[in-house]
Amino acid sequence: MKYKAVIFDLDGVICHTDKYHYQAWKTIADELSIPFDETINNRLRGVSRMESFEIILEKYPGEMSQEEKVAYTEKKNAVYKELLKNMSPKDLSPEVWETLEKLRGAGLKLAIGSSSKNARFILGQLGLGTYFDAISDGNNISRSKPDPEVFLKAAEYLSEAPADCLVVEDAKAGVEAAKAGGMDCAAIGDAAFCGIADYDLSTFSDLCRAVR
């Protein structure tokens, strides 16, 4: 094995909650009469909640206090969490589950490295609440990707050196974060076309070849 551990981003890698993020942010944007579409939503991938709201506010004509911003982001999260209750183990694809089991069976440690503060809730909905060896998420970091903090903390929780960890990401900012942290990165989805990852995966199961 080339690595001792694999650190996964959550949304877009282990599961897909884009539609719930979109619906929740659209609720807030509509309330504020701010134009919001899929193009803007794509800019929010891998970005913290408050930074996402700042992007949405680029088209807001008025001024907003920090207290108001916090209130709106909390309202968005409440809508989002309500939508997440629709998730279940059925949302975990057989390919992802089988690949995780093969990696674990090969002796690799597995961790989550996600900017989301809802990571543990989502994992619980998927039936993976206690599956991973470590979880680093938006609750234990102060800087979002492309800063490497979330991945470095995951490696720390696993008691592994960054160089011995492979990150799996679907967003360019996440790939940049992995590289900034001294980690190799396997890119999937849109990130596979950014040209800076160590491995570009066509499918999640390709990961089994990347780690050998």
Active-site residue, 190 included: no
Q: Which of 11, 137, 170, 184 is catalytic?
A: 11
- For residues 153 and 208, what is the distance between their CA atoms, to the nearest angstrom? 24
Rounded CA-CA distance 190/154 in Å is: 23
User: 9 an active-site residue?
Assistant: yes
Per-residue pLDDT for the chain (212 aa), expressed as one digit of tens each?
Answer: 899 999 999 999 999 998 999 999 999 999 999 999 999 998 887 788 999 999 999 999 999 999 999 999 999 999 999 999 999 999 999 999 999 999 999 999 999 999 988 999 999 999 999 999 999 999 999 998 999 999 999 999 999 999 999 999 999 999 999 999 999 999 999 999 999 999 999 999 999 999 99
Q: Which of 141, 154, 146, 152 is nearest to 182 (CA)?
A: 152
Q: Where are the domains of the chain?
A: 5-15+89-210, 18-84
How far lies 1's CA from each of 36, 104, 152, 174, 203, in Å? 45, 12, 21, 23, 20
Q: Which residue in 9, 137, 170, 184 is the catalytic one?
A: 9
Helices (H), 32-65: 38-42, 49-56
CATH topology of domain 18-84: DNA polymerase; domain 1 (1.10.150)
Q: Which CATH number describes the domain made up of 5-15+89-210? A: 3.40.50.1000
pTM over 0.85: yes
